Amino acid sequence: MTLYEFNLLDINNQMETVNQQGVYLDNHITKDEKFNLYAINMFFVEVCYNSLENKISGIKSFKSGHLLDRYSNIDGFFIKFTRKPNLLLWKKRIANYCHYLLSRYCL
């Protein structure tokens, strides 16, 4: 399945596809929401759960970009452990590693 084909599905079929074909990668938790990141073929799917309403509040699919930043947790790590962090370089490395995981485990 391609990203375009996934985007054509309704939300119920998207969730079924995530459950059947998605490879869980990581999550990010805020006060009100929990985001789970999955890989399907050569793209990512982020499922947002609203903990207050106890339901799925949204699904986003993408190949790369700023949506991956929330899963790197790189900002706090390097500010804490280095004097002059090169955050941009490490964010690119994290994105490249995510693409490596996709190509290794989802093909």
Q: pLDDT tens across 50-96, in order?
A: 988 889 999 999 987 777 777 776 554 444 444 455 556 666 667 77
Closest listed residue to residue 44, CA positions, set 88, 6, 92: 6
Backbone angles phi, psi at 56, to 5 degrees: -75, 125
Quick check: 102 pLDDT over 60?
yes
Quick check: 36 pLDDT over 50?
yes
Residue found under tokens 């699904």: 59
Top pLDDT among 36 and 97 is at 36
Residue type, 66: H
Residue 24 and residue 57: Cα distance in Å, rounded?
Answer: 18
Quick check: 23 pLDDT over 80?
yes
Task: Name the token pair of 87.
Answer: 């955050």
Query: Residue ranges of the domains in the chain?
Result: 3-105
For residue 78, the model assigns a pLDDT of: 44
| Mean of per-residue pLDDT scores for the chain | 80
